[in-house]
Amino acid sequence: MEATVTSHEHALDGGPGPMGGTYGKLMMWFFIVSDALTFSAFLAAYGFSRFKFVETWPIADEVFTHFPFLHGVEAPMYYVALMTFILIFSSVTMVLAVDAGHQLNKGKVAFYMLLTIVGGLIFLGSQAWEWKNFIKGEFGAIETKGGSILQFVDKEGERVALADFAAHLPKEREQLTKSKAFWFISEDPLPTYSVEEVMEGFKNHPDILVRTEQIVDKHKVVLSREESLKRMASAHYVVEGANLIRNEYGQKLFANFFFFITGFHGFHVFTGVLINIIIFFNVLLGTYEKRGSYEMVEKVGLYWHFVDLVWVFVFTFFYLV
Amino acid sequence: MAHAHESNTKRIWFVFGLLSVITIIEVAFGIVRPDFLFKTDFLKMNLLNWLFIILTIVKAYYIVWAFMHLEGEKKSLRTSIVAPLVFLILYLCFILLIEGDYIYDIFKTGTIKWNF
């Protein structure tokens, strides 16, 4: 009859089960496993699209080159490396909070939780700045009728911004807005330069060449002046920065994956910060001290480390590889 | 919870140091991109990318084992978390990447011109 008798002291309160973890901890692990698969699917889909367009995919080093207070200086990777450090460090403070929880040291737990929250907020701010730069763009590009992106370089192969060479023609086209009584139409914001202005400027500057999306021997192909003029004949649209439809960096899918994957990760960081704040206040109120166990800190800790873990992979596949 | 009251701070700082060093190595290689790694292919991928992916997995191992404290859990829990993930992720990558490469070949060698 022993099988039907529950003599285990934790049988009804969710104490350690067969796997040695409490109910709450196991559920957190279940969630993390399923969420890890979601992120894997996103990154694998990114890999799929990249393999599909492997010869024309943007080079990450040329896209993410900004660093705060260093204007015009090319600093590839430094900024994301900094973000990685911030997140790893906030993971360390989290695990220190869990460690202090094991010693039932309320003050220390609260202090490390606070540091973790601050780290999370700094990371979110950094990501917002990264998005701002990505959306704003730096050089601008031309989209052809066929949908490929043409970028501009000088004779040395350095990138040239549209603003540096576009001509200023008398404007015959104004942005239609509701305030100008065009309430029945809506349109996307017009780019700073029209296609004609870029064309005119391109013809007037014989030094400027077109750089295509094609990668040969690890570098984007730069066309000769004659070929450049030929390609420019099919110019169709001026692209500045990035949105979900087109971006100046190249492949349209690149920006979509960037927004979606880093956005989804950022959303995880955001919810992680919120949950951390709730637990932080619970620690201050002494909820877990009365309970005699800081396991709740351990559980949100698991989530927070998971967010860090995902970032490690996003960092590799978006910025390094 | 046999480990309930002992402190692991030393291990935590060791892992933090290790993760930092690995990240610095990754970033250094990412900026320099030495040709002998970047232009040598192994299984259709260059050695530099292999290096990045291996270092990432090392980092992931330390985060999961030390920070998420899987090293202190029962073997049954460890296996039931890691085994499905490893299998499913490898499987997912295997199908999607091979399919992506196949479509790339079709675009390249097929008669339809897609980018003009």
The pLDDT value given to residue A112: 97
The pLDDT value given to residue B7: 72
The pLDDT value given to residue B108: 86
Q: What pLDDT, in 10s, does the model give residues A260-280?
A: 999 999 999 999 999 999 999
The pLDDT value given to residue A19: 84
Alpha-carbon distances, residue A285 vs A69, A111, A289, B68 (angstroms) = 41, 14, 9, 25
A48 CB neighbours in chain B (<8 A) are 96-97, 99-100
ipTM of the complex: 0.91
The DSSP secondary structure of A56-71, one letter per residue, reads TPPPHHHH---BTTBT
B43 CB neighbours in chain A (<8 A) are none
CB contact under 8 A, B5 and A103: yes
Residue numbers in chain A where pLDDT is lower than 50:
1-2
Contact (CB, 8 A) for B60 and A36? no
List the helix and strand counts (H, then E) for chain B.
4, 2
Category of A77 on φ-ψ map: left (φ > 0), alpha (ψ -120 to 50) or beta: left
Partner residue opposite A95 with nearest CB, options B12, B59, B107: B12
CA distance A164 to chain B (A): 26
CB contact under 8 A, B80 and A147: no
CB contact under 8 A, A102 and B16: no
Contact (CB, 8 A) for B100 and A48? yes
Alpha-carbon distances, residue A212 vs A9, A145, A149, A243, A244 (angstroms) = 69, 14, 7, 20, 21
B76 CB neighbours in chain A (<8 A) are 18-20
Residue B75 main-chain phi, psi, to 5 deg:
-60, -35
Domain ranges of chain A: 28-137+254-320, 141-240
Contact (CB, 8 A) for A287 and A113? no
Q: How far apart are the first and last CA of chain A?
A: 60
Q: What pLDDT, in 10s, does the model give residues B38-84?
A: 888 888 888 999 999 999 999 999 999 999 999 989 999 999 999 99
CB contact under 8 A, A309 and B63: yes
The pLDDT value given to residue B2: 43
CB contact under 8 A, B107 and A33: no
Mutation to test the A interface, candidates B63, B90, B99, B113, most A Cβ within 10 Å: B63
Please state, in angstroms and rounded to a whole number, the distance separating the CA atoms of residues A301 and A32. Answer: 12
Mutation to test the B interface, candidates A23, A26, A48, most B Cβ within 10 Å: A48
The yes-or-no verdict on residue B90 having pLDDT over 90 is yes
Partner residue opposite A20 with nearest CB, options B6, B73, B97: B73
CA distance A174 to chain B (A): 31
Residue A28 main-chain phi, psi, to 5 deg:
-60, -40
Residue A249 main-chain phi, psi, to 5 deg:
-85, -20
Taking each helix axis from N to C end, the angle separating A23-52 and A252-285, rounded to the nearest 10 degrees, works out to 160
Contact (CB, 8 A) for B37 and B48? yes
Q: What pLDDT, in 10s, does the model give residues A166-207?
A: 998 887 677 777 777 777 777 777 888 889 999 999 999 999
> For residue B18, what is the nearest residue in chain A, using CA coordinates?
A88
Judged by DSSP in three states, A241 sits in: coil
A88 CB neighbours in chain B (<8 A) are 16, 19-20, 23
Could you tell me which CATH number the domain at A28-137+254-320 has?
1.20.120.80
Judged by DSSP in three states, B110 sits in: coil
CB atoms within 10 A of CB A31: 13
CA distance B112 to chain A (A): 13
Judged by DSSP in three states, A52 sits in: helix
> For residue B72, what is the nearest residue in chain A, using CA coordinates?
A20
CA distance A43 to chain B (A): 9
The pLDDT value given to residue B3: 47
CB contact under 8 A, A316 and B101: no
The pLDDT value given to residue A187: 74
CB contact under 8 A, A50 and B100: yes
The pLDDT value given to residue A2: 45
